[in-house]
Amino acid sequence: MNKVGGYDIEDLKPGMTASFAKTVTEADILMYAGVSCDINAVHLNEEYAKTTMFGGRIAHGMLTAGFISAVLANKLPGPGTIYLGQTLKFKAPVRIGDTVTATVTVREVVAEKKRVVLDAVCSVGGKAVLEGESTVMCTSVKD
């Protein structure tokens, strides 16, 4: 572990996993819209959203993706981690009241570059709503 409580590159092994869960609220969607300036009606206007393929309001996809960031920053690899890249594939909508579980799993450790590639998935009720790949840079005991 590093001095701020995260894993150093030397601590990481393929297969290590960590998760974070959060129930999405109306306030989450409104705050995300305010911070991101994404005020798409499908997120904020129920009457409009009812006319879409979703049949009602949905959470911002990037709000859901942010839960992956929470796992990376707080759990695995944790504090000291620097985000380098993220791919995302949205599989299903997230709605107010859904509990999203974000899980990352170490796929590859590139010790000489202090890089880690992790599989990332967000799920609701056991169903994947988002899948992707995260690439991060970690601290090292040699720093």
Give, for all 143 residues of the chain, the pLDDT tens digit. 888 889 999 999 999 999 999 999 999 999 999 999 999 999 999 999 999 999 999 999 999 999 999 999 999 999 999 999 999 999 999 999 999 999 999 999 999 999 999 999 999 999 999 999 999 999 999 88
At the topology level, CATH places domain 9-24+59-137 in Thiol Ester Dehydrase; Chain A (3.10.129)
Residues 6+ apart with CB under 8 A from 120: 68, 71, 86, 102, 103, 104, 130, 131, 132, 133, 134
Domain boundaries, the chain: 9-24+59-137
Structure confidence at residue 143 (pLDDT): 80
Structure confidence at residue 36 (pLDDT): 98
